[in-house]
Amino acid sequence: MGKFTRHLAIGEKIIIDGEEFVIMPLGIEHLPDFFKAMKALSGGTKKGETEMDMDQFFSKLDEEGMGAISRLIDDTLKLSFPAEDEKERKVFGLRYMMELISKIFEVNSAMMSNPEIRKKLDSLKKNEPNKQA
């Protein structure tokens, strides 16, 4: 075991439609996409609000933010489930986008030191159709 290994997350469980999945953390090369995604997420509420209005969120989401969220989801699914079919992975990522992006930020918790972003991601969980974590 290397020095870093004991400090790294080994993944976190998420339940989707009654099935358990383990989501693995991403590496530092994904830092730019995390910041773009956080910027996109920050447009979903006004300062001081904790509930995210999904219509408002999607209306403010630009192509750059959506691209970052898409890459984070796809790269996380590739890392977490390397044997899965690419087409199925992409459909799964789109279908469960809200559950996955919330868990991806949670798994990569170093990015979650901003309490305002944490509140907004928590509000995403409240609006999830499956309400599972």
pLDDT tens digit sequence for 1-60 = 566 665 565 788 999 999 999 999 898 899 999 988 888 777 555 555 545 566 766 776
Asked if residue 132 belongs to a domain, the reply is no
- Is residue 131 one of the residues assigned to a domain? no
Please state the pTM of the whole predicted model: 0.71
* Domain annotation covers residue 91: yes
| Total domains in the fold of the chain | 1
Identify the pLDDT of residue 90: 96
Q: Say how many CA atoms lie within 13 Å of 40 toward its Cβ.
A: 20
What CA–CA distance (Å, rounded) separates 110 from 38? 13
Query: Using one digit for the tens of pLDDT, what is the confidence trace for 55-114?
Result: 766 776 788 889 999 999 999 999 999 999 999 999 999 999 989 998 998 888 754 555
- Amino acid 61 reads L
Q: Return d(Cα 114, Cα 61) in angstroms, integer.
A: 20
Residue 57 structural domain? 5-126
Residue 14 lies in a domain: yes
* pLDDT greater than 80 at residue 117: no
CA dihedral 113→115→118→120, nearest 10 degrees, is -150
User: Looking up tokens 């830092």, which residue turns up?
Assistant: 31
In a domain, residue 102? The reply is yes
